Chain A
Amino acid sequence: MTEIPMMNRTAAVSGLNDLVLAVARQRSRTAFAALFGHFAPRLKSYLMRLGADPGQAEELVQDVMLLVWHRAETFDPAQANASTWVFTIARNKRIDAIRRERRPEIDLTDPALVPEPVAAADTTLEAGQENARLNAAIGSLPNEQAELLRLAYYEDKPHSTISAEQGIPLGTVKSRLRLAVDRLRRLLRDEA
């Protein structure tokens, strides 16, 4: 079980979710090795994009994967799929390791948290289907919006740098990003 079946994306997503659950419930090292095989090369690439050198990136990959092992029981596929969950762990590890800052985050069990209105439950996406829907939503964005979203989101570039590199006025960068986020939200919510 070192290869994840890649029949289609939905199968891949539920396969990854199942692997994290197997780590959580059975402490399965086989499942963990499969998760490592899938995520380690992606995480290395992600961390290098954000400024880590190859050696540092590999160290951080190890740290992130150890957190995956230790925190697997906090994984809730109803909240986020495995890729999103691993992304948030890597994002926080990077902030901690490279910026030396903490990441302030809400505590969903906090009694002081204002809860979801009950009626909102049926507008919430099934996290299992979310990846496919998001892929479709991102794929349906105009190219220039999708590309800017990726640059802004993923490469940690300030909007002013994107503006200079792409030769697009700053106002246009911002309005395209805003359009992209709005459109994603519409696509995700209206069809939910």
Chain B
Amino acid sequence: MTNPTHHPCREILLDYADGSLGEPAALVIATHLAFCPGCRQQVADLEAVGGVFLEEEELRPVSDDCLEAVMARLDEPAPASGPRPCTASPPPVDLHLPEPLRSYVGAPLAALHWHSRFAGFAEVDLKVGRPPVRTRLIRVVAGLALPRHSHTGTELNLVLAGGFHDPRGSFRRGDVALDDASIDHSPVVDGGEDCICLSVTDAPLRLTGGLTRFLNPFIRL
């Protein structure tokens, strides 16, 4: 198994590290990180920059009783760390679904209820993010050529199984493809294995950035 060759651009890794990326796009990036030691190291470096900035932050005194209030709460039970998204217990390990995606999906790929959209194309809605953002798993049968299309918004895809190719190259497990209005392509799914992707459409790539940012042609792989 080779490491990914198509990575998220540095700005997106920065937005993931500083916490400004919205949850759907952050899910794609975090799942890519599980496949990609190199990007993991980049994010660790960028988080360390956050640590330096926190050290250099100006000091705003907290009120006198703030420490006392915290000390009084130390013996309380630990706050629940964020509940697992779908399931109470972690679903069985599936090498195509590393964490954090596995907990979001909640079941092995084969056990999911796939909705067929057209011949050879099925999807599962993961219900992450608010409309118009859609977070889905999509499955396209081996060898299928998708009709030529362009994108009105952005589409962030992460390959989980199988692969596809388009004029930009070949995308395999762990690779990230960012499509926007400037991409006009007809991707062809590789033979031998169905291609399964995590797909986020119309997500502003930065939470506070809104439409202007995700229509910006600068953000491209």
Which A residues are within 8 Å of any B CB, using their own CB? 29, 32-33, 36-37, 39-46, 48, 57-58, 61-63, 65-67, 69-70, 79-81, 83-88, 90-92, 94-96, 99, 101-107, 110-117, 120, 124, 127, 130-131, 134-135, 138, 149-150, 152-154, 156-161, 170-171, 174, 177-178, 181-182, 184-185, 188
B60 touches A48 (CB 8 A): yes
B48 touches A81 (CB 8 A): yes
Q: Helix, strand, loop or mixed for chain A's interface?
A: helix
B45 touches A87 (CB 8 A): no
- In the complex, A84→B41 CA distance in Å? 14
Q: Is B88 an interface residue (CB 8 A)?
A: no
Q: Which residues in A have their C-beta under 8 angstroms from that of B213?
A: 158-160
Q: Is B216 an interface residue (CB 8 A)?
A: yes
Q: Which of A106, A149, A182 has the most CB of B within 10 A?
A: A106
Q: Is B61 an interface residue (CB 8 A)?
A: yes
Nearest Cβ on chain B to A35's Cβ, whole angstroms: 10
Q: Helix, strand, loop or mixed for chain B's interface?
A: helix
Q: Which residues in A have their C-beta under 8 angstroms from that of B14?
A: 152-153, 177, 181
B95 touches A112 (CB 8 A): yes
Partner of B51, one of A84, A92, A174: A84
Partner of A66, one of B11, B41, B70, B212: B70
Q: Which residues in A have their C-beta under 8 angstroms from that of B144?
A: none
B54 touches A156 (CB 8 A): no
Q: Which residues in A have their C-beta under 8 angstroms from that of B47?
A: 80, 84, 87-88
B216 touches A170 (CB 8 A): yes
- In the complex, A154→B14 CA distance in Å? 10
Nearest Cβ on chain A to B214's Cβ, whole angstroms: 11
A153 touches B49 (CB 8 A): yes
